[in-house]
Amino acid sequence: MDYRIGLNRRDFVSATGLVVGLVSLGAVVKLLPADVHLIRPPGGQDEDGFVALCTRCDRCRSICPTQAIAPARLEDGLLAVRSPKLDFRLGWCTFCGRCAEVCPTGALPSYKAECFEFAGLPDEVFCKTQLKLGVAVINRDRCIAWAGPSVCTICSTKCPYQAITLDEYGRPLVDLDLCNGCGVCENLCPSSRLLSYQGGLRRGIEVSALETKGL
């Protein structure tokens, strides 16, 4: 076997151009801070480790039984585009572990879970894990119970992890230790429908990524 360099000037120029493009793309993506905090499927919470391993193969999105996993869009950042994010408007996470099972690269590592049935949502089986996807935050201006005289207890009765309690006035409060960001509350919160005449798409309770927990 003899080796031969087959490189003419034109090819060299276009290849160098492409490599320069790749380097600058990598630098731009790395240096520009992503201002959107995406909620990743369970196990993908270490963002740097996750983007290093994700090949954007779409398998976790496809297998998710509640269809809570959506492909990130260009608006979610150049680095994130095509990678999986959780959209609790579409579904919630039961921590069933199927996404981790099909992830070929370990971007979503498999985890131990103890599964239980929850009377509030009889069609689903939820699992208890050590993982935290994010944490539910109540938007007091949008929450029916916080904003007005009406009573709404959907989030507290439907929370499979009993992380939402009601205060003395019947307003929901999130227990930050118990909440694992499963998204049931955000999915079922009726405020954007009930407040549709006021406009706005924000719901009374929404899951935030862990980095924005303090806000």
Partner 1 sequence: MASKYRLSKPRGFKFAHFYDRRKSAMKKRMTARTIRATTMVAFLALVVVGLMTRLAPGTLSSLGIRSIALVCPLGALEIMIASRSVIPLAITSLLCIILVGLVLGKVFCAWICPVPLTRMLSSQSRGPEPEPLTIAAIRPESPLQPSIFHSDRPSRIRLDSRFLVLLGTLATTAVVGFPVFCLICPIGLTCATIIGLWRLIGFNEPSWLLLVFPVVLALELLVFRKWCRRLCPLGALFSLISALNTNLRPKVDKQKCLRTSQGLDCTNCKDACCEEIDLHHAEQSSPLSECTKCRDCADACPAGAIGFRKNAKTKLTKTESSHTD
Q: Assign 167 to helix, strand or coil.
A: coil
The residue among 176, 184, 122, 180 whose CA lies nearest residue 156 is 184
By CB under 8 A, is residue 16 in contact with partner 1?
Answer: yes
In angstroms, give the least distance from the CB of 121 to partner 1.
19
Q: How far is the CB of 5 from partner 1 (least distance, A)?
A: 5
Alpha-carbon distances of 160 from 14, 61, 133, rounded to whole Å: 56, 23, 15
Q: Mask 85-124, x = binds partner 1 (CB under 8 A)?
A: -----x----------xx-xxxx-----------------
Could you say whether residue 60 binds partner 1 (CB under 8 A)?
Answer: yes
Min dist CB 56 to partner 1, Å, is 6
CB of 71 to partner 1, least distance (A): 6
Q: In whole angstroms, what separates CA 1 from the centre of its chain?
A: 51
Cβ 194 vs Cβ 146: under 8 Å: no
- Work out how close the CB of 153 gets to partner 1 at its nearest, in angstroms, rounded to a whole number: 29
Minimum CB distance to partner 1 smaller for 30 or for 202: 30
Long-range pairs of 67-71 with CB within 8 A, sequence gap ≥ 24: 67/91, 68/92, 68/93, 68/183, 69/41, 69/99
Residue 10 and residue 13: Cα distance in Å, rounded?
5
Report if residue 25 touches partner 1, rule: CB under 8 A. yes
Residues 61-80 that bind partner 1 (CB under 8 A): 61-65, 70-71, 73-75, 78-79
Applying CB under 8 A, which part among 10-18, 157-165, 173-181, 191-199 lies near partner 1? 10-18
Element (H, E) at 30: helix 9-31
Q: Is 15 in the site for partner 1 (CB under 8 A)?
A: yes
Please, which residue, 104 or 148, has the CB nearer to partner 1?
A: 104
Q: Is 173 in the site for partner 1 (CB under 8 A)?
A: no
CB atoms within 10 A of CB 166: 15
DSSP β-bridge partners for residue 63: none
